[in-house]
Chains A and B, each alone.
Chain A
Amino acid sequence: MSPLSIRSFPRAILHIDGDAFFASCEQMQNPTLRGKPVITGLERGIASSVSYEAKARGVSRAMSLHVIRRICPDVIILPSDYELYSLMSIRMYDIVRRYTDAVEEYSIDECFAELTGLRRTLRMSYQQMAEAIKRDLDTELGVTFSAGLAPTKVLAKVASKWKKPSGLTIIPAREAHLYLAKMGVGKLWGIGHQTESYLASKGIRTALDFARADEEWIEKHLSKPYRSIWYELRGDVVFHLETEKKTAYKSISKTKTFTPPSSDKAFVFAQLSKNVENACIKARRYKQATSEIFAFIKTNDFRYHGMEIKLERTTSLPHMIVHALREPFEKVFRARTLYRSTGVVLVHLEPELHQPDLFGEIEATTRLYKVYEYVDKMSEKYGKHAVFLGSSFIAHKRGNHQDTRATLPSRRKVALKGETKRKRIAIPLIGEVA
């Protein structure tokens, strides 16, 4: 078999991927969970992370909890502790940054690192860097990671997936064909079912078939993202690392499910109001605003009832949106119907400008923004939702869940001296020691 490229590492990109990250974090902080089938996602009703022990029993992600209990009766189901996962995630990025500044924070449990050109400064080969990073991560975080080293992002993804959990796979460009030959084209990062079946109809089944496809054919039949994948498989970088922190969003959405489902109009509206507040907090953090809002309420039999509003000017102040939502809400809400969730999407976000509007309103708006500036400051000091709108009150009072889903992560149940209900020390508390 002839190689796709004669070079080894024209670039060196490392992809790091946490192994069953959320479940592993839980097993890290509670040794009694080691070696046991553990899943997280109790509050969502579906598995958001599945430990390798649970995977071995046939449990997979996004499976509903009652199905999981049936196929794996001794499963341990935990509420998600996003605070812990976030703390661990930041540590992951920071450990990788000890070796290189070029780190792309791809997701909570994944990142890319560019190692190109560091062999002399670090006095290490690319393989040694990858090994050192993986060793630091595994020991210091107490959870394992799978790493893949390759000349492009697409190949690095292939590499990190190659051996899981806790693998380190190194794919130089000239050996890529050996790996791609054993991999279905649908397993590639960025290739979905639709494209997979289209390619299959053209006789392209493995990732290597795809990489070997004629350049002219690719240019003619596939759109740009797929052409990029083709180049990357052949060892040519198209996707560069995005090392800048996200500074703006195109849209922000907030959705929350509550149990048991409710037909209480005031409660459902309060849930919606709370989502609006959450979305606005995020928009204000990124100094963005919108005039277009989409909201929905979802019935217990999963039917969506949407509301669309367009404001006269852009805003990131929740009470303006909540006020505008009242009328459409009255129209779509049906009495004696059970609802299970609500959601809101702020679309077409723009940079927040306190634009002059109608006379007299300029001052009023500026004053309101000042009020929210202090609301945000209070949240910073006392925790999120230290101050909230009256329209969200019932949602806060009742909480989102009345059943077992209301179980809090262990860290929320203990307060160390000096901690408050809303603020905790930013270091994982991994339990008790005798």
Chain B
Amino acid sequence: MTDHQQALAHFYRSHKRMPSYSELMRLWGYKTKSAVDYTLRKLTREGVVGKDKQGCIVPKKLYGEVRVLGIVEAGWPSPAEEELVDTMSLDEYLIENKEATYLLRVKGDSMVDAGIQQGDLVIVERTNSPKVGRIVIAEVDGEWTMKYLRQGKNGLYLEAANSAYKPIYPKEDLKVVAVVKGVIRKY
């Protein structure tokens, strides 16, 4: 930071406003306003100060790289991007592994007690290592089936969330292809 910039920053901090040209003459020890103007132009190019619509000098990066988020006149400054860095979109919230994510439309009521209804969209993630207890998508007789993955005495089986459906014990190995990560119901 140059001496000029430091003096300007000091003035702004103590007076809570930017100096005028004549004040800058005194502040920087210049004899003419054109010398002030010359330095101001330089600081403008460097992004330290700027000019508003009326041509008044306004602070920008007066204190180095820290950004001044607008001049506080009354209340809070308008929301700045900096404040939104720690937020996520609905996409990011619903989808963890983008490349492995697919949608399926729900048919029937076998998972109704788990809150999944006919017509819902389920967000699923393809995986090789589904955990017991999760709602999974398995391939049974050439069709997709969505059930809880359970561990029984004789290995893994599938259980519906509706007492009207019987558990599915696979004849051969169970082909689980994905786990359910979310449900979408749009009204």
Binding site for B on A (CB under 8 A): 29, 31-32, 34, 91, 94-95, 136, 139-142, 414, 416-418, 425, 427-434
**CB < 8 Å neighbour of A432 from B123, B126, B128, B144:** B144
Contact A433 B186 (CB under 8 A): no
Complex Cα distance, B103 from A140, in Å, reads 13
21 contacting pairs across A/B (C-beta < 8 A): A31-B142, A31-B144, A140-B100, A141-B100, A414-B105, A416-B121, A416-B186, A417-B186, A429-B102, A429-B103, A430-B103, A430-B104, A431-B105, A433-B104, A433-B122, A434-B106, A434-B108, A434-B110, A434-B143, A434-B145, A434-B146
Contact of A433 with B145 at beta-carbon distance under 8 Å, contacts A139-B126, A417-B186 already known: yes
Contact partners of B106 in chain A: CB under 8 A: 432-434
**CB < 8 Å neighbour of A427 from B101, B107, B110, B127:** B101
Contact A431 B144 (CB under 8 A): yes
Complex Cα distance, B98 from A95, in Å, reads 10
Complex Cα distance, B168 from A392, in Å, reads 55
Shortest distance from the beta carbon of A135 to any chain B beta carbon, whole Å: 8
Contact A431 B104 (CB under 8 A): yes
Answer yes or no: B87 CB below 8 A from chain A CBs.
Answer: no
Answer yes or no: B23 CB below 8 A from chain A CBs.
Answer: no
Complex interface bits, B63-99 against A, C-beta within 8 A gives 1, otherwise 0: 0000000000000000000000000000000010111
Known: A427-B95, A429-B104. 7 other contacts (CB 8 A): A140-B126, A414-B105, A416-B105, A418-B186, A427-B123, A428-B103, A433-B107
Answer yes or no: B46 CB below 8 A from chain A CBs.
Answer: no
Answer yes or no: B137 CB below 8 A from chain A CBs.
Answer: yes
Contact partners of B113 in chain A: CB under 8 A: none
Q: Which single residue of chain B is at the shortest CB-CB distance from A428?
A: B102
Q: Which single residue of chain A is at the shortest CB-CB distance from B107?
A: A432
Contact partners of A94 in chain B: CB under 8 A: 98-99
Q: Which single residue of chain B is at the shortest CB-CB distance from A36?
A: B142
Contact of A140 with B144 at beta-carbon distance under 8 Å, contacts A430-B104, A433-B107 already known: no
Q: Which single residue of chain B is at the shortest CB-CB distance from A142?
A: B126
Contact of A425 with B186 at beta-carbon distance under 8 Å, contacts A31-B142, A139-B126, A139-B127 already known: no
Binding site of A, secondary structure by majority: helix, strand, loop or mixed? mixed
Complex Cα distance, B100 from A95, in Å, reads 9
Q: Which single residue of chain A is at the shortest CB-CB distance from B106?
A: A433
Question: Which 5 residue pairs are nearest across A and B when measured between Cβ atoms?
Answer: A140-B100, A433-B144, A91-B99, A433-B104, A432-B107
- We find that the number of chain B residues with CB closer than 8 angstroms to chain A is 29
Contact partners of A140 in chain B: CB under 8 A: 97, 99-100, 126-127
Contact of A430 with B139 at beta-carbon distance under 8 Å, contacts A140-B97, A416-B121, A418-B186 already known: no
Contact partners of A142 in chain B: CB under 8 A: 126, 177
Complex Cα distance, B102 from A141, in Å, reads 9
Contact partners of B144 in chain A: CB under 8 A: 31, 430-434
Shortest distance from the beta carbon of A43 to any chain B beta carbon, whole Å: 24
Shortest distance from the beta carbon of B160 to any chain A beta carbon, whole Å: 10
Contact B99 A434 (CB under 8 A): no
Shortest distance from the beta carbon of B20 to any chain A beta carbon, whole Å: 44
Interface set, chain B 132-153, CB cutoff 8 A to A: 137, 139, 142-146
Complex Cα distance, B126 from A428, in Å, reads 12
Contact A429 B105 (CB under 8 A): yes
Among A91, A414, A418, the most chain B Cβ lie within 10 Å of the Cβ of A91
Contact A31 B139 (CB under 8 A): yes
Contact partners of B105 in chain A: CB under 8 A: 414, 416, 429, 431-433
Contact partners of A139 in chain B: CB under 8 A: 100, 126-128
Contact A427 B102 (CB under 8 A): yes
Contact partners of B145 in chain A: CB under 8 A: 433-434
Complex Cα distance, B169 from A271, in Å, reads 56
Contact partners of B137 in chain A: CB under 8 A: 433
Shortest distance from the beta carbon of A388 to any chain B beta carbon, whole Å: 30
Complex Cα distance, B143 from A31, in Å, reads 6
Complex Cα distance, B102 from A142, in Å, reads 11
Shortest distance from the beta carbon of A280 to any chain B beta carbon, whole Å: 32
Contact of A433 with B139 at beta-carbon distance under 8 Å, contacts A140-B126, A141-B126 already known: no
Contact partners of A425 in chain B: CB under 8 A: 103
Contact partners of A418 in chain B: CB under 8 A: 186
Contact of A34 with B142 at beta-carbon distance under 8 Å, contacts A139-B127, A141-B126, A432-B105 already known: yes
Shortest distance from the beta carbon of A205 to any chain B beta carbon, whole Å: 43
Contact partners of A430 in chain B: CB under 8 A: 102-104, 144
Complex Cα distance, B110 from A418, in Å, reads 26
Contact A141 B99 (CB under 8 A): yes
Interface set, chain B 115-133, CB cutoff 8 A to A: 121-123, 126-128
Complex Cα distance, B186 from A32, in Å, reads 28
Shortest distance from the beta carbon of B125 to any chain A beta carbon, whole Å: 8
